[in-house]
Amino acid sequence: MEGVARAHAAGSGTISLLEVIELFQLGLSRDDQARLRRRGGLAITKTGERGGTFESRGDELRLDVGGQAITVPAVLQGTYCSDADGTELVFHTGATVYVAKLLFIEIGLASIRADSTHIDIHLRPGIHQRYRHAPPE
């Protein structure tokens, strides 16, 4: 998510979609990593002092990771906020990453917020998961 903050500070930029998906710490295969790189990046556009929009367009991808099917839609978009406390991506309904797990239930990603010690992942409808991560060295 540091890439979002850098792009925001510059006014616009592109970060790797792989950087966003790797926040889930799923252990993607090299093939899936390559597929995400080929799909293209996440375009960041500053629209205000603390935030802006993001968008990625490309082929829909289905990644199978440890019994979970991750779907990256053809259009991935939303808004972001970046400040001293961290960065948050808020995904538009219908233009978000989906995770399918038990009983073929598909759950959409609502938002991701990251700071130096935590990654908060909010799923639709109202499911929340928090991961602790090591600060960068």
Given this model, what pLDDT does residue 55 score? 93
With a cut of 50, which residues of the chain have pLDDT below it?
Answer: 102-103, 126-132, 134-137
Q: Minimal CA–CA distance to 4: which of 60, 70, 79, 75?
A: 79
Q: Cα(111)–Cα(6) distance, rounded to whole angstroms?
A: 19
Given this model, what pLDDT does residue 121 score? 67
Q: Is the bond preceding 73 in cis, omega lying within 30 degrees of 0? A: no
* Torsion angle of the four alpha carbons 35, 13, 21, 135, in this order, in degrees rounded to the nearest 10: 130
